[in-house]
Structure 1
Amino acid sequence: MIDELYQYLKSFFETSKLNLLHENYGGRRIFSDPIIGVARGDDPIFQKFKGVIGPEHLTPLELWLAEGQENLLASNLCIISIVFPYVDKIRKESKNVKKLLRVTLPAEIYSVGRNYANLFKQETCKKIIEFFNEKSYKAVAGMLSESFTIMAKGNFYSTWSERHIAFATGLGTFSLHEGLITEVGCNIRLASVVTDAPLKSTPRKNDDPYGNCLYYSKGTCRKCEEKCPGNAIDENGHNKIKCYEYGRKVARKVIARIGPILKAHIRRVNGKLRPPSYPVGCAFCQFDVPCMDKNPIIDE
């Protein structure tokens, strides 16, 4: 069934208009073909995430029940994580940042792709749910759930971390800049779905949560630190507060430049809906670095 799902998603990635840039930037694909990983709902790692991320982080069973589904054993659930790799054109052009007097801006083609990604990810989750429903199985998605919220309590985390879910399904490991390094690199987006369909899990190739990062594995690199104009990365890792503050500066400038073609996004913070925003990203730490488009450990 997982092979059938992959072909279904591959076709959707190829044909969906939501996976296209604005015509001002060529009107072509934002993401290349997806990658899929699967984990069992009773994998102990999901309980561990409550200690690693925050106590509000949901297990697959908790998300399932929050969506009004019948009470099952966690072992009857599977989690599918999907990697959305940005196309080479976006990755190559995004190496060319725009340095202004007080702020550095990412390439506009990336900001547009990052902005449009949210709707495409949501629609992808809906399509996966439809896929399973048509086969008489049920499915839910964290990013579509009212239980999904950003927690802002001195730091930032969410009640359903797509990066951690992807790690659990064996799709990659974390990095100094806190992104997930997959076999197609860290310049990606992620989504996931929980289902009661019986699927074979994909093994984690590396249980070391930082196994694919050159800094943590070899003590080398730190290119992401050099690339960050917000000074949000050092040998201790990624400072979410500094990253958030610099991202706000970037967003104000980018929205002033290309606001009319951007798409609004609504999210919850501490459980409450916030006014629409226009996410445009930053991701300087993901471009022109060894882990941008591959797992750099493989080359070592």
Structure 2
Amino acid sequence: MVINKEWFVSKINNFLLNDESNKMVKVDGSLIFQPETLVGFSSGNDPIFTKYKDIIGNFHLTPVEAFTKFYENTNIKFTAENLSVVAYVLPISEETKEENYQHSKNMPSERWANTRLYGEESNQKLQNYLVNELKKENVNAVAPIIEKDLFKIFRKHEKGVWASTWSHRHMLFASGLGSFGISDGFINARGKAMRCGSLIVDYKLPSDAKNRPNDPYEFCIKCGECVERCPAGAISLEEYHNKQICSGHVFSAIPYVKKNYGINIYGCGLCQVHVSCSSGIPNKKNS
């Protein structure tokens, strides 16, 4: 069996189509994520991962560090040159995006809240599924975010607030799938309204680094629509995204979501809907 981009796209889309975890079971049974994934690769020893330690924090793991730590007490041998990062995009349904726009100017809709809770659970199940499918092909892999010994969130750190030891969005950027926006959302061909995932595999895959823009904000047209959409004033064209203000508003939604939807989760997502980059990469000529 040849492991390539088509293999990953097929596995992910089939999972999204058929696994019960990707259904809005508490709403209407429809799909949480559309089976239209994007997949990108980067080399496990790409220099950008060392740069992330300066950008995010020294605690952010390189693929080599994460893979080494996960397999350190086993007899599995590998080389840094053979490691690859696989990153993917899970597009949020059009129904959910539209509902989150129509519902409120400051609180998430029911579908959006369910996507944040159950969609992320499905995303993590998908990562585990991919790791196991790779093992069937005798390929070792690890998904850092689902491993408690690898993943940790820092509310405060030396460079600011809210960062972690492994960032899916930064793996997407490394793998040439798009760029960041001023809201810190990740703009790609399927749009900013998405969730994403990544894993490290001990299998040499062709890097998509050639598609990686030099400017980390390359596809953001600075239109200011997300600035206007943010109910907390956490985004500006001058200073971009204030994580502290944003997180304060996002967590303030918990009582509302619990009371109205019967689930315990935070959320917002208003800057991701009804903006130029919601469903694709915006045209700079129209900015």
Q: TM-score, normalised by structure 2?
A: 0.91
Range with bigger deviation, 116-125 or 200-209: 200-209
What is the distance in 2 between the residues matched to 1:299 and 1:120?
A: 37
**1:156-179 deviations in whole A, cap 9, x for unaligned?**
101101110110001110001011
Match of 1:214 in 2: 221
Range with bigger deviation, 47-56 or 200-209: 200-209
What is the distance in 2 between the residues matched to 1:106 and 1:152?
A: 23
The answer as to 2:271 corresponding to 1:285 is: yes
Say which SS state the counterpart of residue 214 (structure 1) adopts: coil
**1:51-109 deviations in whole A, cap 9, x for unaligned?**
0001100000111012125453321100000101011111122211325xxxx212211
The answer as to 2:108 corresponding to 1:122 is: no
Say which SS state the counterpart of residue 94 (structure 1) adopts: helix
Is the contact between residue 132 and residue 197 of structure 1 (CA under 8 Å) also seen in structure 2?
Answer: no
The answer as to 2:184 corresponding to 1:178 is: yes
Match of 1:297 in 2: 283
Structure 1: tracts of 5 or more residues without a match: 216-220, 263-277
Matches within 5 A, 1:133-144: 133-144=135-146
Q: Percent identity?
A: 30
**1:220-263 deviations in whole A, cap 9, x for unaligned?**
x110010001111112110000011111111221112222xx3x
Q: What letter is aligned with 2:247?
A: Y
Is the contact between residue 176 and residue 213 of structure 1 (CA under 8 Å) also seen in structure 2?
Answer: yes
The Cα shift of 1:299 comes to 6.1
Rate the CA distance shift 1:29–1:133 in 2: closer, same or farther, 3 A: same
What is the distance in 2 between the residues matched to 1:65 and 1:53?
A: 20
What is the distance in 2 between the residues matched to 1:168 and 1:251?
A: 33
Rate the CA distance shift 1:142–1:279 in 2: closer, same or farther, 3 A: farther
Match of 2:248 in 1: 245
The Cα shift of 1:182 comes to 0.6
Rate the CA distance shift 1:130–1:299 in 2: closer, same or farther, 3 A: farther
Q: TM-score, normalised by structure 1?
A: 0.87
Match of 1:266 in 2: none
Is the contact between residue 230 and residue 246 of structure 1 (CA under 8 Å) also seen in structure 2?
Answer: yes
Q: 2:108 aligns with which of 91, 106, 109?
A: 106
What is the distance in 2 between the residues matched to 1:123 and 1:97?
A: 29
Q: How many residues align?
A: 273
Match of 1:193 in 2: 199
The answer as to 2:164 corresponding to 1:158 is: yes
Structure 2: tracts of 5 or more residues without a match: none
Rate the CA distance shift 1:26–1:164 in 2: closer, same or farther, 3 A: same
Match of 1:267 in 2: none
Is the contact between residue 251 and residue 266 of structure 2 (CA under 8 Å) also seen in structure 1?
Answer: no
What is the distance in 1 between the residues matched to 2:182 and 2:265?
A: 23
Is the contact between residue 8 and residue 39 of structure 2 (CA under 8 Å) also seen in structure 1?
Answer: no
Say which SS state the counterpart of residue 224 (structure 1) adopts: helix
What is the distance in 2 between the residues matched to 1:93 and 1:247?
A: 18
Rate the CA distance shift 1:7–1:47 in 2: closer, same or farther, 3 A: same
**1:245-291 deviations in whole A, cap 9, x for unaligned?**
111111221112222xx3xxxxxxxxxxxxxxx33421111010000
Is the contact between residue 112 and residue 280 of structure 1 (CA under 8 Å) also seen in structure 2?
Answer: no
Is the contact between residue 23 and residue 32 of structure 2 (CA under 8 Å) also seen in structure 1?
Answer: yes
Match of 2:40 in 1: 37
Is the contact between residue 168 and residue 204 of structure 1 (CA under 8 Å) also seen in structure 2?
Answer: no
**RMSD over aligned Cα atoms:** 1.5
